Amino acid sequence: SQTIHQWPATLVQPVGSPLSLECTVEGTSNPNLYWYRQAAGRGLQLLFYSVGIGQISSEVPQNLSASRPQDRQFILSSKKLLLSDSGFYLCAWSVHLTLEAFFGQGTRLTVV
């Protein structure tokens, strides 16, 4: 069966520090991968998505970047965190055939 792992679950980082959130998928190949930020009142904001290794589409200009070094690995990064980067980040993958998306447990990031 397919599973998605996202870590860490919570993270507290100082302003100006780097960030690396990792997401891996098991049990499938060549998935579409997504990073979202979930905020109260603003729903799920699509940040990045990827349809293949090395292929990244950025939706919102910001202080973050994404990379897909392997087929089932999707990484969200920042060189220098801002206070405004605080939030709840969700990783997801979707199946090409049914288009259903499956979500990770999320990471609560607090920048202090």
| Footprint of other proteins (CB under 8 A) | 32, 34, 36, 41-44, 46, 49, 51, 57, 59, 90, 92, 94, 98-101, 103-106
Count CB atoms within 10 A of the CB of residue 101: 14
Is the Cβ of residue 76 or residue 111 nearer to other proteins in the bound state? 76
Of 77, 87, 85, whose CA–CA distance to 41 is shortest?
Answer: 87
Count CB atoms within 10 A of the CB of residue 50: 20
Is the Cβ of residue 43 or residue 69 nearer to other proteins in the bound state? 43
CA angle 51, 88, 63 (to 5 degrees): 65
CB of 86 to other proteins, least distance (A): 19
CB of 103 to other proteins, least distance (A): 5
**C-beta of residue 105 within 8 angstroms of C-beta of residue 24:** no
Is the Cβ of residue 68 or residue 81 nearer to other proteins in the bound state? 68
Is the Cβ of residue 13 or residue 108 nearer to other proteins in the bound state? 108
